[in-house]
Structure formats: structure tokens, C-alpha cells
């Protein structure tokens, strides 16, 4: 699905991703965890084409995407749920979702978009209730669901989520992560970026630990949860007798 | 039969991606967590970003057995002691012992890899496995034990030694799989004969052997005497213990657990890679070890890669059974001689037993090898002439196999020292 080899990326002269290699297989949830400033978002932005690699290679579905335009990467099946939701506040919930279906409509017609819209309402019943409401008036959790629904409207092959838990109450975080789990059940592939390491590794198949632009650990999510370094750094769990 | 088919049969391309990811994070971790490597990397002005392919590993220095000794006991650990759940020590086959540690995840990984090896050898949860490797600091016993338990095999943790009791238990407990060194399995077979027990009457079906080099002829002999499928498995405590590689039921080389270990085969003198398929020294880098990662460890074990795919369907590359140690390699009159070559010849000569010793001396500044071979009683009873014939035959065969002349002495059955662990085959009396 996604294969990254020796990727360097950054801003201007500043190189923030240093020799990153990672992969995502179809049907997996892969969690990328790391503290603030670990360059997690930069990684997602490089995958989707907002930032260009300085060195190394990103392959999505076997195609190198180093110089592909963002819209073409999205059209080929890669969707991003951005950090902080970024819903279109002055538009209604349904309008937001339909915007997400823009590519689908172009390729497969209105009927498919409406089918997909229905699917999102099934996945997020609250959005159906709020369909005519302005997106800006939704709660944080509802906005997160809307952002996810909007991304899913394009029927992506890979969904990348940037910090879906930010600023949400713990109960809502649990809901959101349950929905991500359900997405995998429906055959979706998810690359999840999170500071909330425990929640992310709790649902992921595999994980990578990013620290100042480098992958310092990777492996099955269960192994990372059991890793003492991860526990100390990200789970706040230091038990010394 | 596979334990983890999605791994053992994974596409080479996916495997290489996984290896690279793991190598990159391993190197970063050892370079930041282990002072020994940090110093080495700093001296080299090594930049982690330079590792862009698996071949770039060759930029890094080797880790030697002596480095482990110098950092005795915990100096090379990459995690604090409180994260260690197990400590093992090398078997100390040559010189001072060395110490290795395991985190909880390491034990999990280890069990899993041994489970792969045991499954490949044909053993299932329906088997009864008798582990006659030593338990304790040596990794053999516990390594096999945890893997077998993970599969669900009924484990008899009998440990090494007490041959008659081994046989008694094998008989009473209906053991179906035996774990020990190959030479010990022959001792078991001989002792069964003495005790008047017919091995064919036992439930034994599989033998999983490791810990010392052995030859194909020895496999045949084990098969004949015990009637079991004899497979080889390989590992060493410095990189983990058993579970590095193991043979499948095709018995044609050991599948390497390449997703956890990166193996190189290098010329022991130039330390450059040998051409694919040629014999050299095995050098191992761990890819997933947490407590005791090791970079380019010189195992001194001689083997070669077998590039052809195996009919079993595993995509993991195979290595040939270890053919000796690069430091056991005897340089006799400038010719490289491996003990395994001598063993091979002895197995082919009729009337000799698979027990032998190689004595190397220096007489008048010239190297001299004497091979002591046990022969069957029947030959000793006969005339001198027949004995001399046997000696001549062995001498000729050895000379053509090795390329140097050797002395051969016949000794009576059971006069050479028996070992319950690793057999000591070479006695080097030279003072170099």
C-alpha cells in the first residue's frame, strides 16, 4: 500500500525527517507515535504531496509520488484527516461531506456519492442528525467525525489521520478510536498519527516511534506497548520499586 | 507446515523493506543507548542517515567475542537492568563466558522464532518433546523449551546428561521428538543397544539437533540407528540462542529467520563478502533484539548461503549446516583443513565408528596431523594385515580430500573421550 524508503523532508534548508523508512500493508492500522515536534505531521504532508521529499522515496500503490500533484495523489486513493479537524465552518455538515465526495462524483457520478453519503451517516449517526447544522457549531468530537467522514467520502484506499484525539474528552477519544477500529473491519487501511500512544497502540497492528525526525523503534503494537522505553517516554508509566 | 506463514513465506521485496526499517532503528538505538557502539560510531564519524540500503551495513565495524568479554557482564546491554527479565551466558566453548540479557519482548520473540524452527522440523502440539540440551545459563535448553511450549508440544525438560535415564524416560513417556546435540543422539543410540532396547520400538519420530557441526553422513547414521527425521537448527547465545535458523523437513539447509537477523557470509581473511553460495564466516546483526542488540557479530562459524528456493515454500534464505569454525580451521602446511572434511571421510570408510579425534603437532618445524579413529572390534580381532589395509584406505581417502597427508591411528571402540555436550574433536599441541 504505502512504502517509504530513506525519506528526508523538511522546510527550506531545515531537514526535519531524517532517513525515514516505513510501510503500511493493506488492511492494517499503523500507528506513528511521538511527542510534539517529532515531525509526525511533516511525514503525512510528505506522503500526500504537500511537502516534497528532499531525498528518498515514497511509493503509494507501487507508484513513486515524489513529484505527483497533491490532487492526483488524493485521486489515486490517499486521504488525509487533518489535525484540528479543519472542517468548513460556515458550511453545513452535509455540504462538508459532499465536498469530500468531489472526486467520487467526477469519476463515478452523483448516485455513488449519495450512496457513500448514506454510508457515512450509518457510520456516524450523529452527523445525520446534524446534517443541516453548520459545521462550525458542532462539538469537537462531532467535528472530528465530520472530518473523518469527509475523508472517507472519496473511498480512499489509505486513510491518514493526524492526531484525531487532540482536544477531545477521553470518552469521545474512545468513540473515535472504536470507529477507526471499525474502519479496519470494513477493509480500510489506516495510518494514524498520535501523541496519545496508549490509545493508538491499543487499536493498531503495528507501530513506529518517531523521535526528532528519526524512527527509533518499530514493531507489533503489542510489543511497543510492552517496551519499557515507550512506557517511560509516552505512556507515563515508570514503575520502579 | 508453518508457524507464521505470513512471515516465513513473505515476498522478498517486503522482507527487504522490513529489514531496512529494522536495521535503521536498531542502529540508531545501539548508537544512542550502548556506549561501546556510540564510541565506535563516533570514531568512524558514522552518520545514521548513511544507512540507505542493507549493503550499507558493511560500513560498520565488527563486534568480536572479545568485545563481549571486555564489557563483561552488562556493558553491551541497551536497556537498564530493571527491564531485563532473563540473563543467559554463552556456553563458554572457547574461553571466558559472556553474558546476554533479554527483555520481556525478547523472550516473546525468541519463543516465537524457536516455534518456527520446531514447526518446520515437523513437530506439532501433538508431540512429546524431550529436551536433552542443558538447562541453566546455556541458551539451548530454555530456548527450545519456550518455543515448544508456545506451540503446545508436551515438554519434558530433562536437561543434558544421565544417558540411561534419558532412554528410560524416552521409553516410558513415549517421547516423539528429541532435542540434543547430534553426537549425543548417537551416544543414546549406542547405549540403547547396550541396554538391549530396540530404537524402532520407541515412539521417537523427530530429532532436532544443534550446538555443534555435523555432516550429512552423520545424519544418515542417526537416521539408520534411531529411525528418525534428523533436522539441524542453529543459533548462538550472543545473538539470541537457538532460533536463528532451522531446517524444514526437506533437510536441505537451514531457513534463516531473516526478518529478525541479518546474515552475511564473509571471507574470514579479507572480511569481504564471498560470492553467493561460497563458504565463508557467518556474521550476524540482530534486527529486533531490545536488551542485547548486536551489530555484525563475527560468529566464527563457517557456512554458505543456499540461494535456490526451497520446495517447502518458505522464502527465507537458507544457509548450509555449519561446517566448522573459522578458528577451528587448521592451517596445515598452508592448506586450510576443516575437521568436518575428516569426519565425512571417516563416515564413508567401512568398519570405522563416528568417533574420532584430530591431534595436531609440530615436529621438526613441520605440522603433522594424526587422526585417531575408533574401529569396530571385529577389525581388531583380525590380523595385522587387515588393520593396515584399513589405515591405508583412510589415509588415501583423507589425502585426496584434504590435499595434505595425515597419519591415521586406529584405536579400540570406546577409548576416545565421550562428551554429553559438544564433542571435542581437535587437539592442537602446536605451540605457535
For chain B, which residues make up each domain, given as ranges?
1-326, 330-428
Q: Which has the higher per-residue pLDDT, B351 or A180? A: A180
Q: What is the distance in angstroms between the Cα of B7 and the nearest Cα belonging to chain A?
A: 13
Q: How far is it, in rounded angstroms, from Cα B262 to Cα B287?
A: 7
Whether the predicted pLDDT of B328 surpasses 60: yes
A212 touches chain B (CB under 8 A): no
Q: Which of A37-46, B9-18, B305-314, B336-345 has the lowest mean pLDDT?
A: B336-345
What mean pLDDT comes out for the span B319-343?
A: 78
Closest CB to A219: pick one of B79, B83, B288: B288
Confidence label for B267 from pLDDT (cuts 50, 70 and 90): confident
The answer to whether B194 contacts chain A (CB < 8 Å) is no
Q: Which three cell numbers stand for residue B58?
A: 558493511
B330-428 topology per CATH: GMP Synthetase; Chain A, domain 3 (3.30.300)
Q: Say yes or no for a CB contact (<8 Å) between B20 and A18.
A: no
A66, pLDDT greater than 50: yes
pLDDT for A205 beyond 70:
yes
pLDDT at B344 exceeding the cut of 80: no
Q: Say which of A6, A216, A227 has its CB closest to residue B105.
A: A227
Contacts of the segment A54-58: beta carbons below 8 A, 24+ positions apart = A54/A8, A54/A9, A54/A10, A54/A15, A55/A6, A55/A7, A55/A8, A56/A4, A56/A5, A56/A6, A56/A7, A56/A8, A56/A19, A56/A20, A56/B52, A57/A3, A57/A4, A57/A5, A57/A6, A57/A7, A58/A2, A58/A3, A58/A4, A58/A7
A170 CA to centre of own chain:
19
Q: Quote the CA–CA distance of B132 and B166 in Å, as a whole number.
A: 8
pLDDT of res. B174: 97
State the pLDDT confidence band at A44, using cuts at 50, 70 and 90: very high
Residue pairs between chains A and B whose CB atoms are closer than 8 Å:
58
Q: What is the mean pLDDT of residues B127-143?
A: 94
Average pLDDT, chain B: 90
Mean local confidence (pLDDT), B122-130: 97
Asked if A18 has any chain B CB less than 8 Å from its own CB, the reply is: yes
CA Rg, chain B, in Å?
Answer: 22
Which of helix, strand or coil describes residue B419? coil
* Confidence label for B169 from pLDDT (cuts 50, 70 and 90): very high
Q: Which residues of A touch B51 (CB under 8 A)?
A: 19
Domain B1-326 CATH superfamily: ANL, N-terminal domain (3.40.50.12780)
Assess whether pLDDT exceeds 70 at residue A241: no
What is the pLDDT averaged over residues B111-125? 98
Task: Kindly report which listed range (A17-31, A200-214, B200-214, B403-417) carries the lowest average pLDDT score.
Answer: B403-417
Per the DSSP assignment, residues forming a β-bridge with B369 are B360
Percent with pLDDT over 90 in chain A: 79
> Å from A28 to nearest chain B CA?
14
pLDDT of the residue at A240: 47
Question: B25 — contact with chain A (CB < 8 Å)?
Answer: yes
**Chain A 164-203, residues with CB within 8 Å of chain B CB atoms:** none
- Is a pLDDT exceeding 70 seen at residue B422? no
Probe site for chain A from B23, B290, B291, B293 (most A CB atoms < 10 A): B290
Residue B73: asked if its preceding bond is cis (omega within 30°), the reply is: yes
Residue spans in chain A of domains classed CATH 3.40.50.300: 1-77+157-241
With CA atoms as reference, the chain A residue closest to B31 would be A216
Q: Which of B20, B49, B80 sits opposite A18 (nearest CB)?
A: B49
What mean pLDDT do residues A133-155 have? Answer: 94
**Which of the four pLDDT bands, split at 50, 70 and 90, describes residue B338?**
confident
Question: In CATH terms, is domain A1-77+157-241 a member of 3.40.190.10?
Answer: no
pLDDT value of residue A163? 93
Q: Which of B149, B117, B143 is nearest to B3 (CA)?
A: B117
Is pLDDT of A172 > 70?
yes
What is this structure's pTM? 0.85
Q: Percent of chain B, pLDDT > 90?
A: 64
Cβ separation B48–A18 shorter than 8 A: yes
Query: Looking at the predicted structure, is the pLDDT value of residue B103 above 70?
Result: yes
- Judged against a pLDDT cut of 70, whether residue B92 lies above it is answered with no
Residues on chain A touching B82 (C-beta within 8 angstroms): 228, 240
Does residue B361 register a pLDDT over 80? yes
- Give pLDDT, residue B377: 74
Q: Summarize the confidence of residues A199-226 as an average pLDDT.
A: 93
Which residue of B22, B79, B109 is in closest CB contact with A218?
Answer: B22
pLDDT surpasses 80 at B99: yes
In the structure grid, which three cell numbers stand for residue B179, read together? Answer: 532435542
Query: Is B14's Cβ below 8 Å from some Cβ in A?
Result: yes
Amino acid at each position: 500500500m504505502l512504502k517509504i524508503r530513506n525519506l528526508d523532508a523538511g522546510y527550506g534548508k531545515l531537514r526535519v525527517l531524517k532517513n525515514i523508512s516505513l510501510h503500511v500493508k493493506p488492511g492494517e492500522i499503523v500507528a506513528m507515535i511521538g511527542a510534539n515536534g517529532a515531525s509526525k505531521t511533516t511525514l503525512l504532508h510528505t506522503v500526500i504531496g504537500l511537502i516534497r521529499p528532499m531525498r528518498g522515496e515514497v511509493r503509494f500503490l507501487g507508484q513513486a509520488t515524489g513529484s505527483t500533484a497533491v490532487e492526483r495523489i488524493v485521486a489515486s486513493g490517499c486521504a488525509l484527516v487533518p489535525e484540528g479537524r479543519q472542517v468548513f465552518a460556515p458550511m453545513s455538515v452535509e455540504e462538508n461531506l459532499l465536498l469530500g465526495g468531489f472526486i467520487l462524483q467526477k469519476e463515478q457520478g452523483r448516485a455513488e456519492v449519495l450512496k457513500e453519503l448514506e454510508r457515512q451517516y450509518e457510520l456516524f449517526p450523529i452527523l445525520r442528525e446534524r446534517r443541516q447544522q453548520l459545521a462550525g457549531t458542532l462539538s469537537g468530537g462531532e467535528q472530528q467525525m465530520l472530518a473523518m467522514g469527509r475523508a472517507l467520502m472519496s473511498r480512499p484506499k489509505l486513510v491518514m489521520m493526524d492526531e484525531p484525539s487532540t482536544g477531545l474528552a477521553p470518552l469521545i477519544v474512545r468513540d473515535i478510536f472504536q470507529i477507526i477500529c471499525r474502519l479496519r473491519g470494513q477493509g480500510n487501511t489506516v495510518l494514524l498519527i498520535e501523541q496519545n500512544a496508549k490509545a493508538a497502540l491499543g487499536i493498531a497492528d503495528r507501530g513506529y516511534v518517531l523521535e526528532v525526525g528519526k524512527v527509533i523503534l518499530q514493531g507489533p503494537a503489542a510489543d511497543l506497548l510492552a517496551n519499557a522505553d515507550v512506557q517511560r517516554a509516552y505512556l507515563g508509566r515508570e514503575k520502579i520499586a | 507446515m508453518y508457524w507464521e506463514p505470513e512471515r516465513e513465506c513473505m515476498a522478498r521485496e517486503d522482507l527487504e523493506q522490513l529489514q531496512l526499517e529494522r536495521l535503521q532503528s536498531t542502529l540508531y538505538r545501539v548508537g544512542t543507548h550502548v556506549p561501546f557502539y556510540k564510541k565506535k560510531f563516533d570514531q568512524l564519524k558514522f552518520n545514521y542517515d548513511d544507512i540507505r540500503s542493507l549493503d550499507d551495513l558493511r560500513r560498520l565495524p565488527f563486534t568480536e567475542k572479545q568485545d563481549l568479554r571486555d564489557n563483561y557482564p552488562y556493558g553491551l546491554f541497551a536497556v537498564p537492568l530493571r527491564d531485563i527479565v532473563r540473563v543467559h551466558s554463552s556456553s563458554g566453548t572457547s574461553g571466558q563466558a559472556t553474558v546476554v540479557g533479554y527483555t520481556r519482548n525478547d523472550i516473546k520473540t525468541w519463543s516465537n522464532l524457536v516455534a518456527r524452527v520446531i514447526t518446520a522440523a515437523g513437530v506439532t502440539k501433538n508431540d512429546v518433546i524431550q529436551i536433552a540440551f542443558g538447562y541453566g545459563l546455556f541458551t539451548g535448553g530454555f530456548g527450545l523449551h519456550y518455543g515448544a511450549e508456545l506451540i503446545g508440544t508436551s515438554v519434558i525438560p530433562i536437561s543434558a546428561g544421565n544417558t540411561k535415564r534419558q532412554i528410560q524416560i524416552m521409553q516410558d513417556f513415549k517421547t516423539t521428538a528429541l532435542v540434543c546435540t547430534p553426537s549425543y543422539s548417537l551416544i543414546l543410540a549406542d547405549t540403547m543397544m547396550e541396554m538391549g532396547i530396540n530404537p524402532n520400538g520407541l515412539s521417537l519420530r523427530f530429532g532436532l539437533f544443534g550446538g555443534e557441526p555435523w555432516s550429512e553422513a552423520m545424519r544418515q547414521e542417526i537416521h539408520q540407528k534411531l529411525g528418525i527425521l534428523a533436522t539441524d537448527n542453529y543459533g548462538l547465545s550472543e545473538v539470541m540462542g537457538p532460533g536463528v535458523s532451522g531446517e524444514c523437513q526437506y533437510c536441505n539447509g537451514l531457513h534463516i529467520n531473516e526478518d529478525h537477523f541479518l546474515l552475511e557470509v564473509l571471507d574470514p581473511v579479507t572480511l569481504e563478502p564471498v560470492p553467493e553460495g561460497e563458504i565463508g564466516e557467518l556474521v550476524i546483526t540482530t534486527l529486533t533484539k531490545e536488551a542485547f542488540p548486536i551489530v555484525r557479530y563475527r560468529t566464527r562459524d563457517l557456512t554458505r548461503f543456499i540461494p535456490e528456493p526451497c520446495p517447502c515454500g518458505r522464502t527465507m534464505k537458507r544457509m548450509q549446516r555449519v561446517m566448522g569454525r573459522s578458528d577451528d580451521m587448521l592451517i596445515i602446511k598452508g592448506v586450510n583443513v576443516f575437521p568436518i572434511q575428516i569426519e565425512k571421510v571417516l563416515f564413508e570408510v567401512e568398519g570405522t565408528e563416528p568417533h574420532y579425534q584430530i591431534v595436531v603437532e609440530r615436529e621438526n618445524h613441520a605440522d603433522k596431523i594424526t587422526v585417531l579413529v575408533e574401529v569396530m572390534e571385529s577389525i581388531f580381532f583380525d590380523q595385522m594385515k587387515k588393520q593396515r589395509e584399513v589405515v591405508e584406505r583412510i589415509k588415501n581417502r583423507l589425502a585426496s580430500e584434504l590435499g595434505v597427508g595425515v597419519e591415521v591411528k586406529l584405536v579400540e571402540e570406546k577409548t576416545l573421550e565421550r562428551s554429553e555436550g559438544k564433542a571435542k574433536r581437535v587437539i592442537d599441541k602446536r605451540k605457535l
